[in-house]
Structure 1
Amino acid sequence: MADAEKSTGSQAPQSPTSKSPEKPTESQPAQSPPSKSPVQEEIVYDGDSGLGDLASSTASLSSSILQYRTVLGRTYASEIGKSEGWTPNDAQHTESMDIHHHACTLLLDGKLYLSPLKDNISKVVDIGTGTGIWAIDFGDEYPDAEVIGTDISPIQPTWIPPNVKFEIDDANLSWTWRDDTFDFVHVRGMIGTIIDWPAFYREAFRCCKPGGYMEHHDEAAEWHSANGEISEDSAMGQWGKVFSEGGKKFGRTFRLIQDDVQIKGMEEAGFVDIVVKDYMCPIGDWPEDRKQKEIGMFAKLVPFAHPSLSTWILRTNRVQALSTSFGPLCTWQTFGTRCGTRASTHSTPIVWCTGGNPSNERAPSCQGG
């Protein structure tokens, strides 16, 4: 796997950190049910959601949060506020997220992050925590730091380190924490979920302490091949177009890597000393290098093209037009079989982007979006 590193911005001066209390909690009113797509959605209550005794400090838990939507046998988070996730939250997908986490740590030689964090950090947030596995591992590594993981689905475990907690929250809304709350803002795998990325980064900058860091890691929704074997009219060649066009209709871009959304958003928000590391993650066991082969074997189990895409295309009328053209392509069998051949040399781009908060200067607070 080839990786490249580049940095932007000037050297930032060291600034003292400060702690501020969080904003008081607010309850979110239940929203009217969303209109159904051509695919019938069945609302189900999952009594064993894994929420347990975890209580969110940013939203009161109502029964609507646990009213998962079932589409073509997959369950999705309830649509509350601006949240409308395209990935499932069932056992099949949570397992794939944990495998993805392992592949990411292999890419980073066992590390959880790339930012130059201090040993005495006190508060960390993991936006879009999913199963919470990154937050849990980070909490074990930094037992004296408070680690908060947020997500729109209560699918995190209850058996967690005492310094870790999870909150139900939608990152598309105004963040409820006060300025200068976190030493480290971590974001991973949020492609296709955020409506307004510039607003998202402004909120991250506002909540990041002076001297703190933000790190955002995401994948490109497309396939590459070292020997150029992917033809434009093939299923794999059309894959990126599915996401690109669907994201436009869905109102949540999948072109983070292609359009340099991470770098531009972090720079505009005020982060400095931005460092970008580009990776090509192998899919399958084709690499000769032992480490790359291991990464590829795990990545093949949960490539970005996981089997929920066809459900996503069909379940929303925003991309209904795509289902006729691309629906037959969006199957795991199509990609699993192709990536499983020894002749294939497929990979997907992954970008880690880190930046620091240099001073007490603040970007204007976001008002949602």
Structure 2
Amino acid sequence: MAIEYFRRPHHDTDRSAMDADEPYFDQSDDDGTSSDVSDDVVEVRSDEIPQYFEEREGRLFHSHGSSPYPLPVDADEQQRQNGLNRLLRRLIGDSSVGPVRELLAFATGEQRRVVDLGTGTGQWVLDMAREFPHVRFYGVDIVPIATRYPPHNVIFEIHDIMEPFRYASRTIDMVHARSISMAIRDYRALLQEVGRILRRGGLFVSCEWSRVPAMADGSDIALRAPRVHAFFTAVRETLRMSLGIASVAQQIPRLLEESRLFTNIEAKRFHAPIGDWPTDPEMKAMGHEFREMMVVYARSMREVLLGGPYAAHAEELTQGYLHDIHTVPGIVSTCLTVHARRV
């Protein structure tokens, strides 16, 4: 069931009563129906929000029993997510990849709709909503950590993305999925559901960080940064063995092709430096910021390692990783993006 967050009451959509400089946002459906809104959406009261969280070892986690997502959802992780959103925009050069601006361009009489899966703090949605005030955005996640007072064209909902979406078939123009691989056990099933809700020609955009670190010069990371290699080996094995989460990032283009629901599949890799080793000032600053985010990630992932086959070595693995990213130059993390059109 999708649950709507608290949000401000909608403004009167009478164009004459609105600021002349504010683009009109149509609250109704362009086809004259309410096909994208179902009756199972209810509002979460403030006193109900704590029930979506549980505390373990001083960290806050989601309390949704069926979701495999393992990382904390507390303030440290929220700051990391927001930092990653800013970093990815700089790394990619835009808010997303693919023909997004063409797809979401204003067209009289048409209401564009975008769904952001695993929206987290909702920062990507909020950024996009400012750029495209005529587009309706839905941000879905298993915990209510996005703002409860979004702009008029944004709705945040609580929903497990492993379950069917509430949106009617062929009513969504774009589905955005960033860093959701740890919340999904069956990516093939997810693509079927994404394909169901996308209109013909609709856009699917994926953005996932590889769980296989690398060296910028192509040398063997197992030799150059053995502690980084050991840490991520433990992470991949723990996610697979304890939570049933596979490393799917590099397989997404193939899965899209095999689904026979998508065309114009385009994949690209972006390499983000970990540390201030680059000579280029902009990349040097990015690498310094990214390393700080990876410190938070390592400490969060330590909690995951403690619950799996590497529990006895979790602290050693985490400290070794932190040592290498502060002392070994040339380490990069790879962001794999894919965009494809619905046939």
Task: Give the TM-score normalised by the residue count of structure 2.
Answer: 0.80
> For the residues of structure 1 that align with 2:301 and 2:182, how far apart are their CA atoms?
12
| Greater fraction helix | 2
Tell me, yes or no, if the aligned pair for 2:235 and 2:305 is still in contact at 8 Å: no
Is 1:322 aligned to 2:322, yes or no? no
> For the residues of structure 2 that align with 1:271 and 1:219, how far apart are their CA atoms?
22
1:267 corresponding residue in structure 2: 257
1:240 corresponding residue in structure 2: 232
- 1:217 pairs with 183, 196, 207, which one? 207
Tell me, yes or no, if the aligned pair for 2:275 and 2:290 is still in contact at 8 Å: yes
| Aligned 1:55-74 pairs, distance under 5 A | 55=43, 63=48, 66-74=51-59
Displacement of 1:134 in angstroms is: 0.2
- 1:140 pairs with 125, 130, 145, which one? 130
Is 1:190 aligned to 2:204, yes or no? no
Tell me, yes or no, if the aligned pair for 1:69 and 1:76 is still in contact at 8 Å: yes
Q: Spell out, residue by residue over 1:277-300, the C-alpha distance to the aligned partner (whole angstroms, 9 max, x if none).
A: 111111111111233223212211
Displacement of 1:143 in angstroms is: 0.1
- 1:292 pairs with 283, 294, 315, which one? 283
Tell me, yes or no, if the aligned pair for 2:325 and 2:331 is still in contact at 8 Å: yes
Tell me, yes or no, if the aligned pair for 1:300 and 1:336 is still in contact at 8 Å: no
3-state SS in 1 of match to 2:164: coil
Is 1:105 aligned to 2:89, yes or no? yes
Tell me, yes or no, if the aligned pair for 2:216 and 2:330 is still in contact at 8 Å: yes
Displacement of 1:108 in angstroms is: 1.5
Task: Give the TM-score normalised by the residue count of structure 1.
Answer: 0.75
> For the residues of structure 1 that align with 2:246 and 2:322, how far apart are their CA atoms?
21
Q: Spell out, residue by residue over 1:41-61, the C-alpha distance to the aligned partner (whole angstroms, 9 max, x if none).
A: xxxxxxxxxxxxx937xxx99
3-state SS in 2 of match to 1:272: strand
> For the residues of structure 1 that align with 2:137 and 2:210, how far apart are their CA atoms?
28
> For the residues of structure 2 that align with 1:127 and 1:307, how far apart are their CA atoms?
25
Is 1:355 aligned to 2:340, yes or no? yes
> For the residues of structure 2 that align with 1:25 and 1:85, how far apart are their CA atoms?
27
- 1:200 pairs with 172, 177, 190, which one? 190
Letter in 2 for 1:236: V
Tell me, yes or no, if the aligned pair for 1:197 and 1:261 is still in contact at 8 Å: no
1:361 corresponding residue in structure 2: none
> For the residues of structure 1 that align with 2:246 and 2:55, how far apart are their CA atoms?
24
3-state SS in 1 of match to 2:298: coil
With CA pairs under 8 Å and 6+ residues apart, which has the higher RCO, 1 or 2? 1
Is 1:114 aligned to 2:97, yes or no? yes
Displacement of 1:357 in angstroms is: 0.8
- Give the total of aligned pairs: 302
2:242 corresponding residue in structure 1: 250
> For the residues of structure 2 that align with 1:309 and 1:211, how far apart are their CA atoms?
38
3-state SS in 2 of match to 1:156: coil
> For the residues of structure 2 that align with 1:123 and 1:171, how far apart are their CA atoms?
17
Tell me, yes or no, if the aligned pair for 2:275 and 2:287 is still in contact at 8 Å: yes
1:43 corresponding residue in structure 2: none
Tell me, yes or no, if the aligned pair for 1:222 and 1:239 is still in contact at 8 Å: no
> For the residues of structure 1 that align with 2:279 and 2:86, how far apart are their CA atoms?
20
- 1:130 pairs with 96, 99, 120, which one? 120
Consecutive unaligned residues of structure 2, counting only runs of 5 or more, are: 1-29
> For the residues of structure 2 that align with 1:330 and 1:86, how far apart are their CA atoms?
18
Q: Structure 1 residues 218, 144: closer, same or farther in 2, change over 3 A?
A: same
Letter in 1 for 2:73: N
> For the residues of structure 2 that align with 1:207 and 1:312, how far apart are their CA atoms?
33
Tell me, yes or no, if the aligned pair for 1:99 and 1:301 is still in contact at 8 Å: no
Q: Spell out, residue by residue over 1:224-281, the C-alpha distance to the aligned partner (whole angstroms, 9 max, x if none).
A: 1235373369321212311221122234434123xx3211222223110011011111
3-state SS in 2 of match to 1:239: helix
Tell me, yes or no, if the aligned pair for 1:279 and 1:350 is still in contact at 8 Å: yes
> For the residues of structure 2 that align with 1:213 and 1:67, how far apart are their CA atoms?
31
Consecutive unaligned residues of structure 1, counting only runs of 5 or more, are: 1-16, 28-53, 359-369
1:91 corresponding residue in structure 2: 75
Q: Name the Cα RMSD after superposition.
A: 2.5
Displacement of 1:330 in angstroms is: 4.0
Q: Structure 1 residues 20, 67: closer, same or farther in 2, change over 3 A?
A: closer
> For the residues of structure 2 that align with 1:308 and 1:103, how far apart are their CA atoms?
19
